[in-house]
Structure 1
Amino acid sequence: MKTVADLMVTQLITLSENDSLATAKAIMQDKNIRNIPIVNEENECVGMLTQREYLRHAFYLVSQFGTQQISKKEQQTPIANAMNKDILTISPDMALDTAAEFFIENKYGCLPVIDNNKLIGILTPIDFVKLAHQMLNE
């Protein structure tokens, strides 16, 4: 049986709650990623900043301060103001078919993988696409 540990990505880019939205935006653009796990000093996942949540908060900032102020306000806004704190996490020993069902039923963009309360990886729908592609080529 394949598990989450067989497919998860372990080379992670993480940020803290105190990092700015501007930092998150730059990383998302530079690394072409849509999900950034937010961790505390003990590497515990305390939230996720997704591209959707970033955009929602950016639109809020524009509506409050105008487009001329957006860069300045993103520098001043901590990720804690925009991140999702109510996240579903999974374990590395979860069966892959169970994890796939979470994506299908809930349309999650990313699931943090937690072991002993520490973030050890993430799983995304793209990982399943890569697996399907690999299996089709075998």
Structure 2
Amino acid sequence: MRTVADLMVTNLVTLKEHDSLAKAKELMQERNIRNIPITDDEGRCVGMLTQREYLRYAFHLVSQFGTQLMSKKEQQTPISHAMNKDILTLSPETDLDMAAEFFIENKYGCLPVTQDDKLVGILTPVDFVKLAHTMLNQTA
């Protein structure tokens, strides 16, 4: 196991920029995930919605409209208002050591993996923890 392709998750849950924050929140809760890649109609990764970004925008909505209108405002607000568009991507051929350094130095919670401009996977620190766990069990 040497490249991102060996460790990345490929069974992806994605949303579109026009999908609502309410849909993203529901998906995060149902699937117990914290990061959702946002793709366009051609499958290109145009951003990421993380749990942190969702919460930041949710607090903004509450401060502007109060808790009574929160649910309605989440349904009316497209993900594009809250997502991070300035994202770093990896290629499947990226060395795992380099990917690990990105996580350590930048404290990323998730990195999209793209090939030919198309989203093909994601990599998270949890994937490295799972790898470490597997390796520890093999040496025990």
> Normalized against structure 1, the TM-score is what?
0.99
Are 2:109 and 1:113 equivalent residues in the alignment?
A: no
Instruction: Report the CA distance between 1:84 and its aligned residue.
Output: 0.2
Distance apart, 1:67 and its partner CA? 0.4
Which aligned runs of 4 or more in structure 1 are off by greater than 3 angstroms?
Answer: none
Name the amino acid aligned to 2:17: E
**1:71-110 to 2 correspondences below 5 Å:** 71-110=71-110
- Indicate the residue corresponding to 2:40 in structure 1: 40
Q: CA–CA distance in 1 between the matches of 2:121 and 2:70?
A: 32
Residue in 2 aligned with 1:56? 56
Match of 1:125 in 2: 125
- How many residues align? The count is 138
Distance 2:90 2:133 in 1: 24
User: Matched residues in 2 for 1:94 and 1:7: separation?
Assistant: 11
Query: What is the alpha-carbon distance in structure 2 between the residues aligned to residue 80 and residue 135 of structure 1?
Result: 39
RMSD over aligned Cα atoms: 0.6
Q: Secondary structure at the match of 1:67?
A: coil
Q: Percent identity?
A: 75
TM-score in terms of structure 2 length: 0.98
